[in-house]
């Protein structure tokens, strides 16, 4: 399987090449977005890692170019300090996952695992949600892509939920910028009822991304799923 890594920092490229080659991937690297797009057009890799903050063509523009090709390539965004706004914008262009700098092996493994899951399941699944109720707890199961169109469903669920709510995310879970806002709104409504909220089933990287986006704190606790 081919993997392309785009980053303007040579040590980061060297680290990716070392780990990905050891995992058996065919690795291509580029030090800028323009070169990365040319390599993508030539090699058609199944997975692309791209840094968000680069001189010239940044990672968001790289993501847009790749999505224009409609290849189904999994694009994993490498985030750093001060890039959360662009990272959230990348959700609108179906970024597959997010990995923070400095890159940890656990985060890389989690990103590769999620990419494989998405490739096996095909295009983003339609959003669906259902609840499991008990006297003291409501498990809210979320599957597929959560967007702003789902907010009314989340609102109705919040009004019916027990004091303790657990948001349970399926492996197919994805979200866009409006979906993030809908989640924040859901958590706020549940807290207004005097309840507690927790999340479970998020991948290692998605949990860290949600933390950056302000979805964790006193109002909401997270339990990540183990990533092998």
Over the stretch 89-125, which tens digit does the pLDDT of each residue have? Answer: 898 898 988 998 888 898 999 899 889 888 887 656 6
Same domain, 58 and 133: no
Supply the pTM of this predicted model: 0.83
Give the CATH number of the domain where residue 218 resides: 3.30.750.24
Same domain, 103 and 197: no
| C-alpha closest to that of 1 among 33, 35, 51, 48 | 48
8 A C-beta contact, residue 43 and residue 27: no
Same domain, 117 and 145: no
Least confident of 25-34, 51-60, 129-138, 212-221: 212-221
Same domain, 32 and 11: yes
Render the burial of 149-172: b for 16+ CB within 10 Å, e for the rest: ebbebbeebbeebbeebbbbbeeb
Three-class secondary structure of residue 175 per DSSP:
strand
How many folded domains does the chain comprise?
Answer: 2
Give the CATH number of the domain where residue 92 resides: 3.40.50.2300
Same domain, 47 and 103: yes
Same domain, 132 and 204: yes
pLDDT band at 223 (very low <50, low <70, confident <90, very high): low
pLDDT band at 88 (very low <50, low <70, confident <90, very high): confident
Where in the sequence is the domain holding 144, given as residue range(s)? 128-224
Same domain, 139 and 55: no
Quote the mean pLDDT of the chain: 85
Mean pLDDT to the nearest integer, 25-42: 97
Three-class secondary structure of residue 82 per DSSP:
coil
Same domain, 99 and 7: yes
């Amino acid at each position: 399987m081919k993997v392309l890594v785009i980053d303007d920092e040579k040590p980061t490229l060297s680290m990716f090449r070392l780990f990905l080659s050891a995992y058996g991937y065919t690795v291509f690297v580029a030090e800028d977005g323009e070169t990365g797009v040319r390599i993508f057009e030539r090699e058609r890799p199944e997975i692309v890692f791209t840094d968000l903050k680069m001189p010239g063509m940044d990672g968001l523009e790289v993501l847009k170019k790749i999505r224009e090709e409609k290849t189904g390539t999994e694009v994993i965004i490498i985030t750093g300090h001060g890039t959360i706004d662009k990272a959230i914008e990348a959700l609108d262009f179906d970024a597959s996952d997010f990995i923070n700098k400095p890159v940890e092996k656990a985060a890389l493994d989690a990103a590769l695992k999620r990419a494989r899951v998405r490739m096996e399941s095909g295009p983003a699944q339609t959003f669906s949600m259902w609840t499991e109720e008990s006297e003291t707890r409501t498990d809210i199961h979320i599957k597929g892509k959560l967007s702003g169109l789902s907010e009314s469903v989340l609102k109705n669920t919040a009004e019916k939920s027990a004091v303790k709510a657990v948001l349970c995310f399926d492996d197919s879970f994805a979200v866009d910028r409006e979906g993030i806002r809908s989640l924040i709104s859901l958590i706020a409504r549940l807290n207004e009822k005097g309840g507690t909220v927790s999340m479970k089933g998020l991948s290692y990287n998605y949990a860290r991304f949600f933390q950056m986006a302000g979805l964790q704190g006193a109002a909401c606790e997270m339990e990540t799923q183990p990533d092998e």
